[in-house]
Amino acid sequence: MRESTIMKIHYGTAIAAVALVAVHILMRLTQGFAESLEFESVLANYKFVPYAIMLELILILLSIHGFNGLRVVLLELKQGRIYEKAVSYGCLAAMIGLITYGSRTIIVVNMGLV
Amino acid sequence: MAQVSIIADEQTSLSSSKSITLRISRYNPKHDDSSIFTEFIIPYEKWTTVLDAILEVKKYFDHSVAVRYSCRQASCGSCGMMINGKPRLACFTKISELNSNVITVEPMNNFPIIRDLAVKFERMFESHHKIKPYLIRDDTELESDAKEFLQSPKEVEQYIQFANCIKCGLCNSACPTMATDSSFVGPQALAQAYRYVADSRDKGKDSRLKIIDESHGIWRCHFAGSCSQVCPKGVDPAMGIQLLRGYLLGFRS
């Protein structure tokens, strides 16, 4: 993929994440802070499908943005063909791993396994 | 800075009421482990440049000091060096404007050292060559009926400040990305890429944008702006880089 395409995704995910995290914070403000962190309250959030989709989107956006940022930092730190390939594929794998792990939580709750 | 030698009593016979201590970094990568500073007391007048002072050292004290210079009028871009910690042209920096009794000269950062103050420019020239620093088009002025590729003053304004680049390397020396990323194309080459992309006579925009749109290309600039701050010719590479990004992001065409 061209670097400009990657950077467009990088900037786009940052803007979208800021908007969605703002909505997320506003939703949390409707409850007291301690109350919003209670076990039943968290489960209820995951079971409310529109909110769960938004949390999933935040997870995806921040994972893409964060791991691409890490890739850029690591590419500037050291250079070399093998190293750069390892960093790029490593970051991609870590990003997929994190999204999968985060999504698992929402799926498990919605399947009634918790 | 393992050793400092002071030659204080060998002042030249030139009449001057003022003098400065000139500290010159000495390093030969062939047999030195680290650089040392040699100090010289140099008389100066208000018009004396740092290059004049270095040449004074070569003339009267130590002819072995290695320094690259040519035009002595900020046109050739040969005498770039760190002067009191900032990349400057030695021929374009007057001692009187530094407001210091001690002047330290070192080779430019981010360049391999040949010896003392002389550095290798190969990497910068390679990057410069890579971005195709010439007009790309199928016809030539010689074959065209128009004979000249006319431009309006507005079209010239788009790129003219970038045409003032003298390839002195001060921008690359000041760039923080250049310090860590050995593959980064650098502000000098990126500014020149913009110079040709913005030229209405040029038809090579797409190929040039493709060259700089890679993992160690334009996107590694963090917009520190130090390149623009040190340019002795008033070129603003940081702005050129942002304008180039506009093309790649689709804000400019």
DSSP result, chain A: --HHHHHHHHHHHHHHHHHHHHHHHHHHHTS-HHHHTSHHHHHHHHHSHHHHHHHHHHHHHHHHHHHHHHHHHHHHH---HHHHHHHHHHHHHHHHHHHHHHHHHHHHHHTT--
- Does the pLDDT value for residue B6 go beyond 80? no
* Residues B143 and B115 placed together within one structural domain of the fold: no
C-alpha–C-alpha distance, residues B222 and B73, integer Å? 32
DSSP-derived 3-state class of residue B115: strand
Domain coverage including residue B174: 122-249
Alpha helices, DSSP H only, in chain B?
50-60, 122-130, 153-157, 170-174, 176-180, 187-197, 205-212, 226-230, 237-249
Chain A CB contacts of B216 below 8 Å: 75, 79
Alpha helices, DSSP H only, in B45-118?
50-60
DSSP-derived 3-state class of residue B49: strand
* Residues B96 and B129 placed together within one structural domain of the fold: no
pLDDT tens sequence across B53-108: 999 999 999 999 999 999 999 999 999 999 999 999 999 999 999 999 999 999 99
The pair of three-digit structure tokens given for residue B13, joined into one six-digit string: 């016979």
The pair of three-digit structure tokens given for residue A6, joined into one six-digit string: 């990657």
* Residues B95 and B186 placed together within one structural domain of the fold: no
Q: State the Cα angle at A97 between A91 and A103, rounded to 5°.
A: 135
The pair of three-digit structure tokens given for residue A86, joined into one six-digit string: 């390892």
> Domain boundary at B101, B119, B137, which?
B119
pLDDT tens sequence across B9-37: 444 445 557 999 999 999 999 999 999 99
Nearest Cβ partner for A3 among B183, B184, B217: B217
* Residues B133 and B112 placed together within one structural domain of the fold: no
Decide if the complex's ipTM is over 0.90.
no
* Residues B109 and B212 placed together within one structural domain of the fold: no
> Domain boundary at B119, B135, B150, which?
B119
Q: Looking at residue B23, which CATH number applies to its domain?
A: 3.10.20.30
Nearest CA in chain A to B215: A3
Q: Looking at residue B234, which CATH number applies to its domain?
A: 1.10.1060.10
* Residues B127 and B69 placed together within one structural domain of the fold: no
Return the H-helix or E-strand segment holding B23: strand B18-26
What's chain A's average pLDDT? Answer: 93
The pair of three-digit structure tokens given for residue B25, joined into one six-digit string: 């970094």
Q: How many domains does chain B have?
A: 2
> Domain boundary at B90, B119, B148, which?
B119
Any chain A CB within 8 A of the CB of B207? no
DSSP-derived 3-state class of residue B137: coil
Strand-pairing partners, residue B104, are B23
Q: Where are the domains of chain A?
A: 3-110
- Please judge whether B220 and A84 are an interchain contact, meaning their C-beta atoms are less than 8 angstroms apart: no
B169 conformational bin, left if phi > 0, alpha if psi -120 to 50, beta if neither = left
Per CATH, domain A3-110 is 1.10.3470: no
pLDDT tens sequence across B106-115: 999 999 999 9
* Residues B28 and B47 placed together within one structural domain of the fold: yes
* Residues B191 and B204 placed together within one structural domain of the fold: yes
